[in-house]
Amino acid sequence: MISANLLIWAILFILFLFCVIVYLLRNKRISMKYALVWILAIAIILFVLMLPSLMYRLASLFGFELLSNMILCVFIGILLFITLALTVMVSGQKKKITLLIQEVSILKKEVEDK
Amino acid sequence: MQTGYRYALNHQYDVAIQFDGDGQHDVSYVKKLIEPILNDEKDFTIGSRFIENISGFKTSFSRRIGIKVLSFFIKFTSGFRLYDTTSGFRASNKAVIKEFANDYPIEYPEPITVVELLKKGYRVQELGVNMKERLKGHSSIHSWKEFYYMINVCFSILIVGLRRYK
């Protein structure tokens, strides 16, 4: 059985994470578009944490012997997903920045040649 | 959009008009919008479809509900009742141009910027204007993106509500 103690700590940690995200948003350090991915993840985790019986059924359904293993796996899965999403964004930005530099260089050349 | 405000700031314009290019807005109302700004009664004016209902503009049910919800959130965070939350027909004075040139949201700026201006103590007014149906093009707000839009904007407004200005 997962102890009530552990559950409370997990919920507190998630709420703390939520506060950090709100703080970052408030100081304009991150934009809402990317914060929403985190808020969605937090909502899902909170929802699952609130229903331990559901967690047990899911764990046995997926063949986990220990509930804590499933929780760890889910966390790692979510983190992998977010990292992958960030990689996609970085790649896109890299491409845009390169195009921008080229565009500016051409413009600069044309202005200087005149 | 911010590019326009930066341009206006660099050229020291007194008034900047934001105007949709899809034929929805009516140029003849520009005068009405800039009048309170020229008289220095207001800092920022918004052309509204829903005040005075000049055109009897019809919008879809879901769109109306969405606008009502946004209107409620804006009232809740700033105390100001705004009827046409997504209107892109707006006029700003020098001080507001400077604000926008410095910082302007990338996604769905209209409702968020209004709340920011109100929180900063700028004088905002909504004025009734006539709006036509779009000649071409779609609103940037439609179909499956509508839900994402609502969530994003509602959260953003609440976050602006949490900020302390001045």
What pLDDT sits at residue B165?
80
User: Does A33 touch chain B if contact means CB atoms closer than 8 Å?
Assistant: yes
Q: What is the pLDDT of residues B29-39, one digit of tens each?
A: 999 999 999 99
Q: What is the residue whose two structure tokens read 């889910």? A: A74
Write the CB contacts of A62 (distance below 8 Å, at least 6 apart in sequence): A70
Sign, CA torsion B87/B90/B95/B98: positive
What pLDDT sits at residue A52?
79
Instruction: Give the minimum alpha-carbon distance from B109 to chain A in angstroms, rounded to a whole number.
Output: 12
**Alpha-helical segments (H) within A1-114:** 4-26, 32-50, 52-61, 67-113
Tell me the HSE value of B39 on the side-chain side, using a 13 A CA sphere. Answer: 10
Give me the interface pTM, i.e. the ipTM.
0.79
The answer to whether residue A47 is domain-embedded is yes
User: Does B152 touch chain A if contact means CB atoms closer than 8 Å?
Assistant: yes
Q: What is the pLDDT of residues A45-54, one digit of tens each?
A: 888 888 878 8
Note whether B159 contacts A39, CB cutoff 8 Å: no
Which of B106, B148, B163 lies closest to A31 in CB terms? B106
Domains and CATH numbers, chain B: 2-162 (3.90.550.10)
Alpha-carbon distance of B90 to B99, in angstroms, equals: 14
Q: What is the pLDDT of residues A52-91, one digit of tens each?
A: 788 888 888 999 888 888 888 988 998 998 899 899 999 9
The answer to whether residue A41 is domain-embedded is yes
The answer to whether residue A114 is domain-embedded is no
**Alpha-helical segments (H) within B15-144:** 30-38, 61-78, 94-102, 109-119
Work out how many domains chain A is built from and give that number. 1
Note whether A26 contacts B156, CB cutoff 8 Å: no
Note whether B159 contacts A36, CB cutoff 8 Å: no
Mean pLDDT of chain B: 87
B40 residue type, one letter: D
Which residue out of B99, B159, B162, B163 would a mutagenesis test of the A interface target, given it has the greatest number of A Cβ atoms within 10 Å? Answer: B159
What pLDDT sits at residue A109?
96
Instruction: Give the minimum alpha-carbon distance from B59 to chain A in angstroms, rounded to a whole number.
Output: 27
What's the mean pLDDT in A26-42?
90
Q: What is the DSSP letter of B25?
A: B
Domain that holds residue A68: 4-82
Q: What is the DSSP letter of B92?
A: E
Q: Above 60 in pLDDT, residue A7?
A: yes
User: Does B163 touch chain A if contact means CB atoms closer than 8 Å?
Assistant: yes
User: Does B159 touch chain A if contact means CB atoms closer than 8 Å?
Assistant: yes
Q: What is the pLDDT of residues B41-70, one digit of tens each?
A: 999 999 988 876 655 566 677 778 888 899
**The token pair that represents A49 in the structure block:** 């944490």
